[in-house]
Amino acid sequence: MFTSTFLTPLFLLFVQQVDPAELQKAIQQDAASAPPGAAGTPAPPGAVAPTSSDASTPVALPSGNAQDAVRRPGSSLLNPALSVILDGTFGYYGKSPTDFARLRLPVAGDDPGLAGGGSPAREGFGIQEVEVAASAAIDPYLEGALFLTIPNLDGIEVEEGYLVTTALPANLQFKAGTFRSQVGRNNTQHLHLQNFTRRPLMTALLFGADGLRGPGAQVSVLLPLPWFATFYAEGFSLGAPDDLTLVATFGGGPRATPRNLTTTAVLEQYWDLGENTSLLLGLNFATGKIFDCTAASAVGATCDPAAMAAPRTYLHGGDLYFKWKPANVAQTYASLQWTTEFFTRTITGGGPTEGAGYTEPVLQFARRWYLGARFDVTGLPSGQNLPRRYGYAGSLTFAPSEFSRFRLYAQELTGPGVPSSTVGFLQAEYSMGAHGAHPF
pLDDT at 309: 55
Residue 119 lies in a domain: no
pLDDT at 44: 42
User: Other CB atoms closer than 10 Å to residue 241's CB: what's the count?
Assistant: 21
Rounded to the nearest 10°, the torsion over CA 366, 199, 186, 287 is: -170
- C-alpha 60/C-alpha 70 separation (Å) is 12
pLDDT at 14: 44
Domains identified in the chain, total number: 2
pLDDT at 190: 93
Residue 55 lies in a domain: no
CA neighbor of 289 nearest in space, from 269, 266, 315:
315
Residue 138 lies in a domain: no
38 and 185 assigned to the same domain: no
pLDDT at 355: 93
Encode the chain (440 residues) as per-residue pLDDT tens digits: 444 444 444 444 444 455 667 667 767 776 676 555 444 444 444 444 444 343 333 434 444 443 444 344 445 567 899 999 999 999 888 777 667 767 777 778 888 877 555 556 677 888 999 999 999 999 999 999 999 999 988 889 999 999 999 999 999 999 999 999 999 999 999 999 999 999 999 988 888 888 899 899 999 999 999 999 999 999 988 765 555 445 566 765 555 566 678 899 999 999 999 989 999 999 999 998 776 555 445 444 444 444 445 678 899 999 999 999 998 777 788 999 999 999 999 887 666 788 999 999 999 999 999 999 999 999 998 887 788 999 999 999 999 999 999 999 999 998 887 887 889 999 999 999 988 777 77
Residue 66 lies in a domain: no
269 and 404 assigned to the same domain: yes
- C-alpha 31/C-alpha 314 separation (Å) is 70
Structural domain of 407:
165-433
38 and 169 assigned to the same domain: no
pLDDT at 6: 42
pLDDT at 386: 83
pLDDT at 109: 84
Residue 149 lies in a domain: no
Domain at 410, CATH number: 2.40.160
Using H for helix, E for strand and C for coil, what is the string for 139-150? ECCEEEEEEEEE
Using H for helix, E for strand and C for coil, what is the string for the chain? CCCHHHHHHHHHHHHHCCCHHHHHHHHHHHHHHCCCCCCCCCCCCCCCCCCCCCCCCCCCCCCHHHHHHHHCHHHHHHCCEEEEEEEEEEEEECCCHHHHHHCCCCCCCCCCCCCCCCCCCCEEEEEEEEEEEEEEEEECCEEEEEEEEEECCCCCEEEEEEEEECCCCCCEEEEEEEEECCCCCHHHCCHHHCCCCCCCHHHHHHHCCCCCEEEEEEEEEECCCCCEEEEEEEEECCCCCCCCCCCCCCCCCCCCCHHHCEEEEEEEEEEECCCCEEEEEEEEEEEEECCCHHHHHHCCCCCCCCCCCCCEEEEEEEEEEEEECCCCCCCCCCEEEEEEEEEEEEECCCCCEEEEEEEEEEEECCCCEEEEEEEEEECCCCCCCCCCEEEEEEEEEEEEECCEEEEEEEEEEEECCEEEEEEEEEEEEEEEECCCCCCC
pLDDT at 4: 43
AA letter at 130 = V
Residue 333 lies in a domain: yes
pLDDT at 12: 42
- C-alpha 118/C-alpha 105 separation (Å) is 17
